[in-house]
């Protein structure tokens, strides 16, 4: 198959959805398919893809409607005989999906790593008329979309994220930087969705009772100054540290004692999967996909979103229990190896793409 991934995320944005696209592209390329990933010029996702050996091209989609861009993409699809196009954002479907309909032979799929579709007429129109299927990573998202009543039974396909479990990782030496301290790590865009304000509040609750915890966060975003202001207000300058954008978080995961996800909503949180793969215990909020990934009380703990007290209580309940931490980490790695490997994801994705392409060619 000739497969094109399109992701028009901002140049400096890079998260779990972008990592999924690159990993999926690389795995399909490894299986012998022709694969190209398209995004904005000089974007982080194109650089990340190039570093992984994935061929790239520049396609810039800036708005929901762009007749000139649609015509250009239609020509590209014809010239390159693209069989399947997998789109990231809703505007990618509207602009490139229309191009595919003009080109005539390309299967169009949307990849929704979180709830990107609401009961708006424009979502219904674009996803039912310009798209041949939706790939998601969570049964809860599939259930939500099924409830809209728009799609045929098998239109939304659940394919769990997969990751490559590294053979060796050199951990960040937190013991030198913070001797005698226990490291609680988190990562993600500094945006409202990621719930870092609640993690700060949880840190403040714990700091009132003890002084041996250091919170480290990898990420950048528009809320950075607001969050740093809140840290100063709560007196956490020495115990809540922002590391900035970190392209490879595995060394941080390897070096920490506990990983925490404080998000208000997610799809299937890749970063939790990565922490589990490195045998790290996890405390996570009860967001989409969390209960499909984490076994509460066995591989980690699940707490309500937007609840700093619950977050602090969960952290306190495990951080001083090395036996429980070890047990969570061991069980988590086994769960990832059984259900969330990149090879398993690639096999399921390849089979689904072949199925959709055969349906297209049969005129279904």
- The CA distance from 322 to 221, in Å, is 34
User: Are residues 149 and 214 located together in one domain of the fold?
Assistant: no
End-to-end CA distance of the chain: 19
Structural domain contains residue 167? no
Q: What is the pLDDT at residue 19?
A: 87
Q: For residues 347 and 108, give the distance between their C-alpha atoms in angstroms, rounded to a whole number.
A: 19
Classify residue 149 as exposed, middle or buried by CB count within 10 Å of its CB (0-12, 13-18, 19+).
exposed
For residue 315, give the nearest of 303, 332, 329 by alpha carbon: 303
CA atoms of 151 and 256, how far apart (whole Å): 43
**In the 3-class helix/strand/coil scheme, how is 51-119 assigned residue by residue?**
HCCCCEEECCCCCCCCHHHHHHHHHHHHHCCCCEEEECCHHHHHHHHHHHHHHCCCEEEEEECCCCCCC
Residues 202 and 150 in one domain: no
Whole-number pLDDT of residue 115: 74
Q: Whole-angstrom Cα distance, residue 340 to residue 343? A: 9
Report yes or no on 201 lying in a domain.
Answer: yes
Q: pLDDT per residue over 226-244, tens digit each?
A: 999 999 999 999 999 999 9
The verdict on residue 18 lying in a domain is yes
List 109's β-bridge partners, or say none. 86, 133
Instruction: Note the pLDDT of residue 364.
Output: 66
Query: How many alpha carbons lie under 13 Å from residue 195 in its C-beta half-sphere?
Result: 23
Q: Whose structure tokens read 């020509």?
A: 75
Query: What is the extent of the structural domain holding 325?
Result: 174-339
Domain match, 193 and 322 both: yes
So what's the pLDDT on residue 123?
86
The helix (run of H) or strand (run of E) holding residue 154 is none
8 Å CB contact between 196 and 223:
yes
Q: What is the CATH number of the domain that holds 24?
A: 3.40.50.2000
For residues 152 and 193, membership in a common domain is answered with no
Are 204 and 324 part of one and the same domain?
yes
187 lies in the same domain as 308: yes
332 forms bridges with which residues in the sheet? Answer: none
For residues 307 and 255, state if they share a domain: yes
- For 169, other C-beta atoms within 10 Å of its C-beta total 16
Q: In which residue ranges of the chain is pLDDT below 50?
A: none
Sheet of 213-218: strand order equals 240-244, 213-218, 182-187, 258-261, 282-285, 300-303
Same domain, 39 and 155: yes
Q: Are residues 60 and 201 in the same domain?
A: no
Q: Which of helix, strand or coil describes residue 132? A: coil
**What's this model's pTM, rounded to 2 decimal places?**
0.80
188 in a domain, yes or no? yes
Q: 146 with 183, same domain?
A: no
69 and 205 together in one domain: no
* Residue written as token pair 């490559």: 164
44-51 helix and 16-30 helix, angle to the nearest 10 degrees: 30
Asked whether residue 168 is domain-assigned, the answer is: no
User: Is 193 a domain residue?
Assistant: yes
Shared domain for 27 and 83, answered yes or no, is yes
Q: What is the pLDDT of residue 86?
A: 98
Provide the domain count of the chain.
Answer: 2
């Amino acid at each position: 198959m000739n497969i094109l991934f399109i992701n028009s995320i901002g140049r400096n944005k890079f998260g779990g959805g972008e990592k999924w696209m690159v990993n999926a592209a690389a795995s399909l390329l490894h299986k012998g398919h022709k694969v190209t990933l398209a995004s904005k010029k000089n974007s982080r996702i194109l650089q990340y893809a190039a570093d992984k050996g994935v061929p790239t091209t520049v396609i810039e989609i800036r708005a929901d409607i762009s007749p000139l861009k649609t015509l250009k993409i239609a020509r590209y699809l014809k010239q390159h005989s693209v069989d399947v196009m997998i789109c990231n954002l809703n505007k990618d479907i509207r602009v490139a999906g229309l191009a595919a309909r003009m080109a005539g032979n390309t299967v169009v799929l949307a990849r929704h790593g979180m709830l990107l579709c609401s009961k708006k007429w424009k979502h219904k129109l674009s996803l039912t008329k310009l798209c041949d299927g939706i790939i998601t990573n969570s049964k809860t998202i599939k259930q939500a979309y099924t409830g809209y009543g728009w799609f045929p039974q098998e239109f939304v396909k659940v394919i769990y994220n997969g990751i490559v479990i590294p053979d060796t990782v050199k951990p960040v030496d937190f013991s030198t930087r913070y001797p005698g301290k226990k490291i609680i790590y988190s990562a993600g865009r500094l945006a409202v969705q990621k719930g870092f304000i609640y993690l700060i509040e949880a840190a403040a609750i714990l700091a009132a009772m003890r002084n041996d915890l250091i919170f480290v966060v990898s990420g950048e975003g528009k809320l950075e100054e607001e969050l740093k202001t809140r840290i100063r207000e709560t007196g956490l300058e020495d115990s809540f540290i922002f590391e900035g954008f970190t392209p490879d978080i595995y060394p941080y995961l390897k070096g920490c004692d506990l990983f925490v996800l404080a998000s208000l909503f997610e799809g299937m949180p890749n970063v939790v999967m990565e922490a589990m793969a490195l045998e790290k215990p996890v405390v996570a909020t009860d967001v989409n996909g969390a209960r499909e990934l984490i076994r509460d009380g066995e591989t980690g703990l699940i707490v309500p979103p937007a609840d700093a007290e619950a977050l602090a209580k969960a952290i306190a309940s495990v951080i001083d229990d090395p036996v429980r931490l070890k047990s969570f980490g061991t069980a988590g790695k086994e769960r990832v190896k059984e259900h969330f490997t990149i090879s398993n994801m690639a096999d399921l994705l390849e089979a689904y793409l072949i199925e959709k392409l055969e349906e297209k060619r049969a005129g279904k």
